[in-house]
A and B are shown apart, each in its own frame.
Chain A
Amino acid sequence: MSNNQQFEREFEKFLNEEDSRIAALYRKLPRPEPDAKLDASVLAMARRAAATAPRPRAHTPRWIPALSAAAVVALAAGIAFRTGPTVWQQQPAPAAQKPVGENAAAPAPAAAHVETNQRTEADALKDQAAPQNAIAPAPRSDAVPAAPPAYSAPAGPETRALLRKMEPPVRRADAPAPQAFPKRAAQEQEKKPAETGAAAGASAPMQQSGAVGDLDVQARDRTRDESSQSIPERPALKAREEKTTRPMPVETPPPPPAREQPVPQSAPTDAAAESTIAAPAAKTLQRAPRSKDPNARLYPEHWLENIRTMLREDQRDEALRSLAEFRRLYPNYHLPDDLRDLK
């Protein structure tokens, strides 16, 4: 038997707890033990620990927390399954995808906000609705918030029914004088003879309640594009636009005068007479400077520079006319010395 084989056999004995020579020799080694002092120290330590923390051992099975977690997850899933669809239906869809029926759901909270004098997004929509009525004045269209401009799909029967259902509370809250709308419609018909055909059908007082919603929605859809020039921008959008254009020192021309022209001067008065909601929109329109002078598009400094150019080019009459227009639009502007006494 070679040495290797003998070694392997001894090693296997050693591993298998059989009596190997090395293990036997090890067991012959002195078997020292801790002294009594050390024993006393350890036992005292164990007694102290047992005395200071005599709490009973909690034999909590491990499966209880896992089962609890699984039960909570299952309960949450069940609640979500039961309540989820309802909540989802109540959540507003993105504006561009909103059907008319969902927009019609807005007046209810909006009416509540009007009662508490809190302006909301729904109020802003109403602001938009008032001038829109000036062009396509269906008797009830003011009570229905205007759909987003991107929307062009016709309203379905269910949507219209929901629309009609949502109208009355809003009309009661927002439109104290509904008879004023036909009057305004007549004024608009005089102003816009070209639109008479389309608007007349919509503006005629609707007595049949079933047809009111249809024509109302159709008229609004039809006139939305036409009236886009005269519809004052929503306050939020207008503020955003002003914010982005005003501080820029670039000569960005304002919307062309042609767009401002059809804004009805009567809108503020009508709005004041009919509804308090339309007032802010009209107020915003009055603030905008209107002039036929093309320089009115420019910032005052640039306008004045143009006047000086006219003077240098011997266009004195034109310069004086432009300066007069400047003074009219900017009465509080401190004119430079060279232009202050110019007459």
Chain B
Amino acid sequence: MGEAYSDEKLMLAYADGDLRAFDTLYARTRGMLYRFILRSVPDRASADELFQETWSRLIASRERYRVEAKFSTWLLQIAHNLIIDSFRRARPQAGAEETETVLRELDVPEHERPEQVLSDFEQRRRLQLALDGLPDEQREAFLLRVEGALGLAEIAQITGAGQETVKSRLRYAFAKIREKFAE
């Protein structure tokens, strides 16, 4: 199962019992999904739990899968629903201190030059703080846009909001993050 197969075909193949198709599909999407979840929830443990639960839901409903949208849209929609549920269960959200802890735990690419580390770390920190400071809907729209590489229509489909609403959320998120870097 190489790159020639689309995500949708791989999912259909797995639904027919092809385990190699699932392996390929998982390898393609695991990082994107994990980062989307990790940046949406306050801690890594929750992200791991939600990541596993997302795949569990996908596996359970594999026979009902229909190619009506991109596979990544479907996958992110499952994750989105689980994240919303977790938000409802565990409010209030994590504060800035917890975010700092998570940031410290994040892996730092080894190839980065030492003189760039502090500067990049500061930038990443600011971006992470800006993301954490966003309202949930705006942060989710932003992550779906930059991490999932989804368009307005797909984000609207996942979140259940109108396209204009999604665009408005993205505009506010973009403005706040930009403002954070201008400080």
A residues whose Cβ falls under 8 Å from a Cβ of B = 7, 10-11, 14-15, 17, 21-23, 25-35, 38-39, 41-43, 45-47, 49-50, 53-54, 56-57
Contact = CB atoms under 8 A, between A and B. Distances in A.
Contacts, number: 103
Contacts of A27: 146
Contacts of B70: none
B167 A29 contact: no
Contacts of B60: 49
Could you say which of A7, A17, A33 has the most chain B C-beta atoms within 10 Å of its C-beta?
A: A33
Contact of A11 (B22, B59, B171): B171
A33 B31 contact: yes
A20 to B, nearest CB: 8
A30 B112 CA distance: 11
Nearest to B56: A45
A56 B55 CA distance: 21
B134 interface: no
Q: Is the interface of B mostly helix, strand, loop or mixed?
A: helix
B100 interface: no
B17 interface: yes
Contacts of B84: none
A15 B167 contact: yes
Contacts of B15: 57
A125 to B, nearest CB: 65
A46 B26 contact: yes
B63 interface: yes
Contact of A56 (B16, B128, B146, B152): B16
Interface string B134-147: 00000000000111
Contact of B26 (A43, A50, A53): A43
A146 B82 CA distance: 79
21 contacts: A7-B178, A14-B170, A17-B149, A22-B146, A23-B146, A29-B127, A31-B35, A31-B109, A32-B38, A33-B31, A33-B34, A33-B35, A34-B34, A34-B48, A34-B51, A43-B23, A45-B55, A45-B56, A50-B14, A50-B22, A53-B63
Q: 5 closest A-B pairs (Cβ-Cβ)?
A: A30-B106, A42-B55, A49-B59, A33-B31, A34-B34
Given A22-B177, A43-B26, A29 B128 contact: yes
B1 to A, nearest CB: 14
Interface residues of B, number: 45
Interface in B96-133: 106-109, 120, 123-124, 127-128
Nearest to B66: A62
B30 interface: yes
Contacts of A57: 12, 15-16, 63
Could you say which of A14, A21, A23, A54 has the most chain B C-beta atoms within 10 Å of its C-beta?
A: A14
B169 to A, nearest CB: 12
Given A7-B178, A46-B14, A57-B15, A30 B30 contact: no
A21 B128 CA distance: 15
A336 B11 CA distance: 100
B178 A28 contact: no
A49 B62 contact: yes
A25 B123 contact: yes
A24 to B, nearest CB: 10
B19 A46 contact: yes
